[in-house]
Amino acid sequence: MRSQPPRLLAATLLAVLAASSLQAAGAAAAADYERVLNGTFDSGAADPWWSGAGVTNRVTGGELCAAVTGGTTNPWDALIGQNGVPFETGESYTFSFDAHATTAQPITAAAGESVSPYRGIASQQFTLSPTKQRFTFTFTSTLDFPDAGNGQVAFQLGGQPADNTVCVDNVSVIGGVKPPGGVNPNPAKKVQVDLVGYVPGLPKRATLVSTAATPQTWTLKNSAGAAVASGQSTPKGADATSGDSVHQIDFSSFDTAGTGYTLSVGEDSSFPFDISADPIKRLRYDSLAFFYHQRSGTPIEAQYVGDEYSRPAGHINVAPNQGDDNVPCRADLACGYTLDVRGGWYDAGDHGKYVVNGGIAAWQLLNSYERATRVGDASAFRDGTLAIPEKSNGVPDLLDEARWEVDFLLKMQAPDGMAHHKIHDANWTALPTRPELDDQPRRLSATSTAATLNLAAVAAQASRLWKGIDATYSATLLTAARKAYAAAKANPAKLADPDDGTGGGAYSDSTVSDEFYWAASELYATTGDSAYRTDVAASPHYKAAGLTRAGFYWGGTAPLGDITLALAPNGLPAADVTAIKSAFATVADQHLTAMAGMGYAAPYDNSTDGYVWGSNSAVLNNAQVLALAHDFTGAAKYRDGVFEALHYVLGRNPLSTSYVAGYGDQAMRNAHHRFWANQNDPTLPIAPPGSLSGGPNSALQDPVAQRLLTGCPQQKCWVDDIGAYSVNEVAVNWNSALAWVSGWAAEKSGTSTPKSDCEVGFTAGRWTDGLSAQVKITNTGTAAWTSWQLGFAFPGTQKVTAGWSATWSQAGRDVTAASMPWNGQVGPGKSVHIGFNGSGTGTDPTAFTINGKACKIA
């Protein structure tokens, strides 16, 4: 609780604001930066304060009160503290706090390092009494911990014979010269484009940040810097969601495929981008590769992911893992059995496996396949399309990947037919922690109605899809689905505990009528049974009654039932199916209307909760609604809306950032992930290509986001920092949305690829960490070339180290080779041979362009 009266508080705040704006302007004023988060406990929450063994924290009466078990030897045997506190060497800090204790005792206030070797900066002992007193001491830092680093403040409460309660409040550490939070590592541009690519034949829009009231001249330049198109922007004014004043730029009329384009206005230039269907076709598979990376219970092999992403199997009972083969329920449940729940995908950056989230993710992959079989092209997912162990088993690879999770969901079914809500660690582990090094006990949470209905829905859907592939498996799935549905009807309100958030996420959901509708819809579509039909038609969600601009997510699943009823043949009245389909068009129209007024168009409704945890997945799930509206009506406007959503996610946003790792010159790298933890341990990799960041979350629900982003406009509440789990985690249900939408978009990009007049043959000799490649380029067209430029992208970590017979250059994974004066002339039917030596590993590139046009592969 604040000790100052409100008026004084307001005055103090104003003074602090004035001082910090002075500093922002460059004045070397005295440092007054508050380094501690939530030192007042005003919100009633303790976060980000932690307590160590033998101590329990509770916020009560506006203070943080620690119940300490007595009988310890040293002061540091009982701790409370806060990590990630920034300190700068040589700077002075004032540490102050209010404190009292039930029984008088000494405590030590300390500043230091949160990880081994736990170096100290300063500490001082104070004696507490039952009366609240304020304590202060000043010190100079001897260590340097940048923001989100390993700095710590702690109170040592141990060394006492008896139990005691110690309360602290108004904890403050003031000092330092750098603003708290440092700088978002991703600088923003003024000209905001999709950093990856625009597809030929489709709209191409960008956003200019400018307060100018009049149209500005834009210029599109090719990779050689030559202007190829220009036009005028349209001023739109202030955009509250981004905090920017914006103009729209539309360069749709330019349609020449190529790489390395930039868009500029005056001195300001965008990041480079392609006009090409190639990137989205790569993303279709990279977004699916995410799921192989996340597999639990199996080694992730270098032959599929390259050396840097390979790792031993996690949670198979090899020490220090306790294994998922024999997992008991939490002690308080006493369920009387253990389950073998090996396999499945890790949910996210943590090592939990949660049925409701695994359920929607598996469903979305399977739906991508089912949709393609009904109204699209399922050959894109055939056997051999993904780099996974099952790539030549004769089954479409998308189904193989989804089955890894579906099999796990089946294992989560209890003997009574209900499904356990989740299995995860007893306590949160540190970052980084490789899966195979997680030593926490694994525990099953209670069964829940929501998890049981997820299992019923996904197993019923999968049964339908495997009918012609593996009849035995299909029958097993249907038996499990029927049993789960019956169990859920017998236990219709068994809700997951919203407070069960230690060592894993809660994923609690207080409304399950939507899960009932979804499961009944899947079972009806698979079986045609009248009992399921009765439940579908009687649901308050029937005929897309629950479909709004809010879309769907792990806790709101009614639209999944609508999608299945609209796609899979079933016995419902034709008029009802038509009503479901038209609901998709109605909601899609609402999205398009809203998007037309946005500075950075995205199908997202921020009117009630702002930008929420995982907002990028909401954007993409809503893009799926737009895509289905296009499937059901054929209207081009809905297709264009899907691509607009992708443009937002891939860089046309106020942070000039691609939220998809490996895609674009400024892409997410430092996902909150216990293995892709390069930011914390340089020997570990960054997030692999195709993984999606959760995205802006204006509720700032973690300490790093709070420190870095306070006051952010909604679309800017994001930072590429491993500690910022409420904005920059990855998750299976988010990547499934990216996979669905990029797969759809890749399918819709196919027809506009320009006709090929070139052929490229690529042969490489490879060794452990290098390669030597020969490239044969043939002019298969009718006109002679006077110069040529070859473009391709490496799927792995390969880097050209020395090339010959061309001018070679590489940016990220994109490589170009431009002709020399002596081999630029290539007549029809003629070939040139070039080559290079390189480092790194990965499979051969699968797509090539000459002068921006896609080539046949020899």
Which residues of this protein are in contact with ligand 9MR, per CB under 6 A?
347-350, 352, 428, 501, 505-507, 613-614, 694, 725, 729, 731
Would you say 507 or 808 has its CB closer to ligand 9MR? 507
The DSSP H or E segment spanning 24 is helix 6-24
Q: Please state, in angstroms and rounded to a whole number, the distance separating the CA atoms of residues 832 and 756.
A: 17
DSSP 8-state code for residue 101? E
Q: Please state, in angstroms and rounded to a whole number, the distance separating the CA atoms of residues 607 and 428.
A: 33
Would you say 56 or 534 has its CB closer to ligand 9MR? 56
Q: Please state, in angstroms and rounded to a whole number, the distance separating the CA atoms of residues 769 and 765.
A: 11
Q: How far is the CB of 266 from ligand 9MR (least distance, A)?
A: 40
- Using alpha carbons, select from 265, 258, 327, 268 the residue that is nearest to residue 297: 327
Q: How far is the CB of 423 from ligand 9MR (least distance, A)?
A: 13
Would you say 603 or 723 has its CB closer to ligand 9MR? 723
Would you say 480 or 737 has its CB closer to ligand 9MR? 737
Active-site option among 169, 729, 757, 759:
729
Q: How far is the CB of 380 from ligand 9MR (least distance, A)?
A: 28
Q: How far is the CB of 324 from ligand 9MR (least distance, A)?
A: 16
Would you say 595 or 705 has its CB closer to ligand 9MR? 705
- Using alpha carbons, select from 829, 836, 828 the residue that is nearest to residue 805: 836
Would you say 480 or 660 has its CB closer to ligand 9MR? 660
Q: Please state, in angstroms and rounded to a whole number, the distance separating the CA atoms of residues 232 and 248.
A: 9
Report residue 173 as tokens.
């550490």
Q: How far is the CB of 348 from ligand 9MR (least distance, A)?
A: 3
Question: Tokens 């054929």 identify what position?
Answer: 634
Q: How far is the CB of 428 from ligand 9MR (least distance, A)?
A: 5
Q: Where are the alpha helices (DSSP H) in 70-217?
A: none
CB 296 within 8 A of CB 314: yes
Q: Please state, in angstroms and rounded to a whole number, the distance separating the CA atoms of residues 710 and 704.
A: 10
CB 626 within 8 A of CB 603: yes
Q: Where are the alpha helices (DSSP H) in 557-614?
A: 558-567, 574-596
Question: Tokens 């197993």 identify what position?
Answer: 459
Question: Tokens 């500093």 identify what position?
Answer: 23
Told to judge if 720 belongs to the known catalytic residues of this protein, a careful annotator would answer yes
Q: Please state, in angstroms and rounded to a whole number, the distance separating the CA atoms of residues 300 and 309.
A: 8
Question: Tokens 């079972």 identify what position?
Answer: 523
Q: How far is the CB of 185 from ligand 9MR (least distance, A)?
A: 19
Would you say 190 or 434 has its CB closer to ligand 9MR? 434
Would you say 333 or 506 has its CB closer to ligand 9MR? 506
Would you say 286 or 721 has its CB closer to ligand 9MR? 721
Q: Please state, in angstroms and rounded to a whole number, the distance separating the CA atoms of residues 570 and 691.
A: 35
Q: Please state, in angstroms and rounded to a whole number, the distance separating the CA atoms of residues 124 and 46.
A: 23
Would you say 39 or 349 has its CB closer to ligand 9MR? 349
Active-site option among 720, 721, 759, 814:
720
Q: How far is the CB of 522 from ligand 9MR (least distance, A)?
A: 22
In the chain, % helix, strand, coil (3-state, to 5) comes to 30, 25, 45
Side chain identity at residue 289, one-letter code: A
Q: How far is CA 614 from CA 60, 510, 604, 725, 728, in A?
A: 31, 19, 12, 10, 9
Give bridge partners of residue 151 from the DSSP assignment: 113
Q: How far is the CB of 311 from ligand 9MR (least distance, A)?
A: 18
Give bridge partners of residue 205 from the DSSP assignment: 250
Q: Which residue is nearest to ligand 9MR (CB)?
A: 505
Calculated CA dihedral for residues 667, 245, 624, 626, nearest 10 degrees:
-150
Give bridge partners of residue 83 from the DSSP assignment: 152
Told to judge if 274 belongs to the known catalytic residues of this protein, a careful annotator would answer no
Q: Please state, in angstroms and rounded to a whole number, the distance separating the CA atoms of residues 733 and 199.
A: 26
Q: How far is the CB of 407 from ligand 9MR (least distance, A)?
A: 21
**Enzyme catalytic residues:** 720, 729
